[in-house]
Amino acid sequence: MSYVRPEDLFEQIEPWSAETWKKFIENHVVPLSKLSKTYAKYFEGDTSSQVASYVAEASDKVLSVAESMLGYIKKEYAVPEDPIEVGRLLMEHAVNTFLGVGEGGKHSFFIFSLRKLPREYAYKLYPKLEKEPEIREKVFKLLGINELWKPYITSPLAERLTLMGYPDYPMYCRVEKHGYTVSLRVLPSKESTLGGTISRLIESLMAILARPGMLSAYELSIDVLTEYDRAVSGIVSLPRETGEYLKVKYADSYIKLKENSLVGEWNFCGIVEGLGVKVVSSVTPESYTISRESNLLTEFRKWSSLLVLGKAELLFAILGRFVLLLPLVRVISL
């Protein structure tokens, strides 16, 4: 698997154009919606039917938001009657829509890369977002990119380290358990964006591409998830500190990060105070035990490339007077 440079990708897909996203949705999301619904019905009771239902749910949410944002979406796609052919086509469209695979993958990678990212890194990745305010405004408005979290301090660094992304993509959580481990529950969003719903669809494709149940009968020219993991691991590596993040399988992340889902248990978390970060080994609403000290500049730069590639997520929660920062890492298997 090879990837286009982000600055070249920007020019190739023209993300400031509504027509770009309408074509992407008609060519990729519409077939996924129709095929996944049919497959789930044909193979009800099989584990593959459940993951097909994830894709159907995520696809329909994209279509609903797209029509409100972009206008009429053509939903023309003929689903074959043969159940085996339905499964084959579902896998084919899942592969062709996944991150970095073909034309569909260029669009999905762009969307997914911006779901949750510090402003300075987003501008470094796609320089036109900083240099051309009119282009930035069009892209942000179309995809629904907004400020998600800003450090509670008056400093030029606070602007650079502000997290940008989709407000409906999982980020804010409620602490369900604290102490020597921390567990969170993902809070529901009050709005839906084009970028957020497409990002959730991409995540659901990870479950399909893991090929559970009957889907294991379909041979792919490459194991897409394994190859993706291998490819991006050659670009970035996980931080050296072990135990400071929670691991979740690619195939499970759609459900693990679903609204109201329980995510845990972390052995460490970061407490954010201004621009400082205290990595702690235990925490209550009143106190904590420090393992090491760092800062947001260092921590965000360490995680940003992992966020872009979908290898990691950052989750936030409030516990008493503390803001908790918890990194979650996607892996092939546990």
The answer to the question of residue 196 being in a domain is: yes
Q: What is the pLDDT of residues 30-65, one digit of tens each?
A: 999 999 999 999 999 999 999 999 999 999 999 999
The answer to the question of residue 165 being in a domain is: yes
Q: What is the pLDDT of residues 194-229, one digit of tens each?
A: 999 999 999 999 999 999 999 999 988 888 888 888
- 20, 37, 179, 212 from 34: Cα distances, Å: 21, 5, 46, 20
Query: Percent of the chain having pLDDT more than 90?
Result: 80
Per-residue pLDDT, 155: 85
The answer to the question of residue 162 being in a domain is: yes
Per-residue pLDDT band for 2 (boundaries 50, 70, 90) equals: low
User: pTM for the complete prediction?
Assistant: 0.94
Strand partners, 317: 173, 324
The answer to the question of residue 232 being in a domain is: yes
- 3-state SS class at 319: strand
pLDDT at 3 over 70: no
Per-residue pLDDT, 242: 59
Name which of 64-68, 162-166, 261-265 the model is least confident about.
Answer: 261-265
pLDDT at 4 over 90: no
Cα angle 179, 184, 189 (rounded to 5 degrees) comes to 150
Q: What is the pLDDT of residues 274-310, one digit of tens each?
A: 899 999 999 999 999 999 999 999 999 999 999 999 9
Strand partners, 179: 283
C-alpha closest to that of 15 among 153, 237, 195: 195
The answer to the question of residue 1 being in a domain is: no
- 3-state SS class at 269: strand
Per-residue pLDDT, 36: 98
Per-residue pLDDT, 278: 94
Task: Give, for 42, the enclosing helix (H) or strand (E).
Answer: helix 30-42
The answer to the question of residue 69 being in a domain is: yes
Domain count, the chain: 1
Structure token pair of residue 22: 């309408």
pLDDT at 109 over 70: yes
CA 313, CA 101: separation in Å to the nearest integer?
A: 22
Contact 179, 189 (CB under 8 A): no
Domain span including residue 138: 6-331
The answer to the question of residue 47 being in a domain is: yes
Per-residue pLDDT, 332: 87
Contact 297, 161 (CB under 8 A): yes
Q: What is the 3-state secondary structure (H, E, C) of 152-202?
A: CCCCHHHHHCCEEECCCCCCEEEEEECECCEEEEECCCCCCCHHHHHHHHH
The answer to the question of residue 18 being in a domain is: yes
Per-residue pLDDT, 8: 84
- 3-state SS class at 34: helix
Q: What is the pLDDT of residues 123-173, one digit of tens each?
A: 999 999 999 999 999 999 999 999 999 998 888 889 999 999 999 999 999
